[in-house]
Amino acid sequence: EFLREGAAINDFKRPDRVVVGTDSEDAATVMCELYRPLFLNETPIIITQRRTSELIKYAANAFLAVKITFINEIADLCEKVGANVQEVSRGIGLDNRIGNKFLHAGPGYGGSCFPKDTLALSKIGQDAGSELKIVDSVIEVNSERKKKMADKVIAHMGGDVSGKTIALLGLAFKPNTDDMREAPSIDIVAKLQEAGAKIRAYDPASMDEASHLMSDVLFCDGPYHAIENADAVVIVTEWDQFRALDLDRVRQTLAAPNVIDLRNIYQSDYMIERGFKYTSVGRAY
């Protein structure tokens, strides 16, 4: 566990910790010997009971899900009061008690681990008669967050996307993977289609998987193919190639210069200077 998709080998070789859950001293001895090379690199090894090790795993992922959901709600507040969530994130992330990871505002978490583990921890709490209200709220807020991103697109388009063509750049829940499990793009596409929009999409890795989860979507050969004659482009996944788009070509290719950046990969003033009508997440300036 604790292996990030796309970085599993490095995570295995340089883990923050190794947690072993066992009630057997013999098993503990074997596991310590197995992981001894890592221990020599000063990796902490925690030997604990099985129940405790399970909760360590669930609690760790749930806590990270809390951080993501927290900064997303702060992003909404920033938009209302005229603040910048990226500066808020940096300001609080420099506090060593908080740390700067998982404080990037966006369309909500997806993938396998966070949705599965928050639900599992919530169920364990229910079964044990110990309600986990924070975790339950995170699950609910994150689910609604994905739909709210479609609302952001609709609002940017003047409240009506009926008959409009919307280009999505990125479908997977994060870059460098084809994983579509619980990806925000699924809910975003569904709600935009419900509002009458036509969807074009491009993702470097996940389009085959996405084709089994989405209908009536035109999957394109590249970002500029997706953008061609679209009324707006929505950046959903922060693939590196989307950070280096030829913005002059993007503006010329779009039917209208609408960019909704759900990952804040571009700077607002820069995009406006380049002639775009630009919306991002949690940045009022």
Q: Which three-class secondary structure state does DSSP give residue 178?
A: coil
Distance CA 24, CA 168 (A): 52
Burial environment of residue 34 by CB neighbours within 10 A (0 to 12, 13 to 18, 19 or more) = exposed
Same domain? For 152 and 275 the reply is yes
Q: Is residue 89 part of a domain?
A: no
One-letter amino acid at 264 equals N
**Which tens digit of pLDDT belongs to each residue from 215-265?**
999 999 999 999 999 999 999 999 999 999 999 999 999 999 999 999 999
Same domain? For 39 and 151 the reply is no
Q: Is residue 41 part of a domain?
A: yes
**Which tens digit of pLDDT belongs to each residue from 72-83?**
999 999 999 999
Distance CA 220, CA 231 (A): 16
Here the CATH number for the domain that contains residue 150 is 3.40.50.720
Q: Is 147 left (phi over 0), alpha (psi -120 to 50) or beta?
A: alpha
User: Which residues participate in catalysis according to the annotation?
Assistant: 113
DSSP for residue 219: E
Same domain? For 152 and 270 the reply is yes
Cβ atoms of 262 and 279 closer than 8 Å: no
Q: Is residue 93 part of a domain?
A: no
Going by C-alpha positions, the residue among 265, 284, 281 that lies closest to residue 68 is 281
Q: Which residue range forms the structural domain that includes residue 203?
A: 146-279
Q: Is residue 94 part of a domain?
A: no
Q: Is residue 239 part of a domain?
A: yes
One-letter amino acid at 156 equals H
Going by C-alpha positions, the residue among 273, 230, 236 that lies closest to residue 254 is 230
Q: Is residue 285 part of a domain?
A: no
Same domain? For 152 and 273 the reply is yes
Same domain? For 44 and 158 the reply is no
Q: Is residue 131 part of a domain?
A: no
Task: Say what the pLDDT of residue 168 is.
Answer: 98
Structure tokens at 185: 């793009």
Cα→Cα distances 144→7, 73, 148, Å: 29, 11, 6
**Phi, psi of 209, deg, nearest 5:** -65, -40
Query: pLDDT below 70 — which residues of the chain?
Result: 1-2
Q: Is residue 20 part of a domain?
A: yes
How many domains is the chain built from?
2
